[in-house]
Structure 1
Amino acid sequence: MTDVRPDYPFTQSEGEHRRLLAQSELLDPFTRSLLSDAGLEPGARVLDLGSGAGNVALLARELVGPTGHVVGIDRSPETVAMAREHAERSGFDNVEFRVGDAETLDGVEGGFDAVTGRVVLMYLADPEAALRAAVERVRPGGLVCFHEADLTYTWCSPPTPLWSWLYDCCQETFGRAGIEPRMGHRLHTTFRAAGLPSPTMGLGTSVWGGPEMPDYGWADVVLGMLPLMERLGVATADEIGPATLKQRMRAELRAADSIMIAGMLLGAWARRPVA
């Protein structure tokens, strides 16, 4: 295991919290289906890693119902505080959020019926070790269910100059920051390395034509990553042009009659062996 932790590419702030909530509108339907297909049941006690805004924890709560309980872990105190507010607004009293390290899970108890996570392993220095730590906190026969991304596919087709340049900037940032943009492809081997059986897997994404491009999209990802891009010397704010980026990307997509492909999610689930 390396001692160098990858950079999280987004600044922990209220703006990042809003970005995660907007992102969830695109991703939640896929994650809800994954958790349901995996067999997350009413009454289950769930551990959610890298909870962020709390969306996956709240999705899990929908499935476990009022007799279940969900514990979300995130290393940012600011993010945890905002996730707690999100849960309170949703009216759920059986979802809690704790400040903790999703990689080591130091201080987190065991005996959970399930562990979940969405787009979290890609930011960890040793995903296999992190997953092993999570599996140790799940009872034998319990569920392990993760969604991870593939961010290396073509974001729009046919490609356009601005979109292609932004894609290259993001890929360069991922590389310099030590982030794994194809973590979804590694889920099978990561599950196996964590002592789990070969997982059941699936793939989900959304596609729009230029005029139907949603309000939330790749421009929001790029803008969220901009401080890290500048710090790593990949691109500057003057080059990106934050004030008009979304409009320029939308206009270029329409002009080329291109389609936009949203974040591609690979899902995997398996159960901890009983013996």
Structure 2
Amino acid sequence: MGELATQTGDAEHDAGSTEPLRHGPPQSFFQTPLPRANATMEWWRNLPPRAANLLPGDEIDWRPGAWLHAWEKGLAPAGRRYFHKDTFDGAVWLLTTRPIADGDELEETIFADHETDDLPEVARALVRCWPTSPGELSRCIGSTARSLEWFLDRKTALDHQQRNRLCDLLGLELDPDFQTYETCAPCVLIARTSNAAKQAYEFLSHGGDLVFSIEALPASGLPDPSWRYLVFQAYGGAPNIMLVARGSGIDAKLSQDLFINFQGAKPIRLALYRDIVRTCAKACRDSRSNIRAMKELNDRHVSFFTDIASEI
């Protein structure tokens, strides 16, 4: 039948048709145009292979592994999006955080513009040196360690409540004029790496604008065999303490300009030195104790820190 149809078609063509002879099936046989069908076929061929999700038998000599690779588990989730109609011009915006009610006061909101928000960078410098672990910090703000890490790396956002709690824990507040975050409370930090310690020190000291920066040593007796205590205070701020582990390599850089405007060792009363050691131990107990312990130390020794400022 196929040969007969071809012969009939050839005969009809010879009988007087002016169109060129077409070989193969007519175009109407294809539900999709040929170029599009070829493109779809190529797209299908390039899809990655996917194994069938079959339950393994009882006789296998291997143990099924995790479904996701390690690098796939470390990907930040796509954040939620919120449509918001601006009451000023009627424009509709797609936001990465929940819209803030028009009646809210500016002081009660957290500035969260992605392009100018510097909270991730500021918080990262402090979190890297915070005495407690990121996991303990994240639990205090109602988050997870991974979500906090993603936030510090600008891979995802924290909600407003979590941002507020993080600022309270780290002693940060938003400058209403410059829309940048500044420190508003003293704290104890641990110099775990040179870069992290330098960044945190320069942030808390406002780039080296210091009233004093000393290593506290006891005037009598032996110093702590495990830690060196860097005490520093920026103009307009309160004293902070940076713990530097002896033998860590960072302690050798104390006199090598790692910490800007560092003024060297200063002997202090033994009772005060011991109070500094006890305060640091309290600050390392949990995340909420850090700032509270430092404020109590400053209140107990206001005159001492004033005297240091006048002597240097």
The structure with the greater share of residues assigned to helix is 1
Q: TM-score, normalised by structure 2?
A: 0.24
Q: TM-score, normalised by structure 1?
A: 0.27
The structure with the greater share of residues assigned to strand is 1
Q: Which structure would you say has the larger Rg?
A: 2
**Structure number with higher relative contact order (C-alpha < 8 Å, ≥ 6 residues apart):** 1
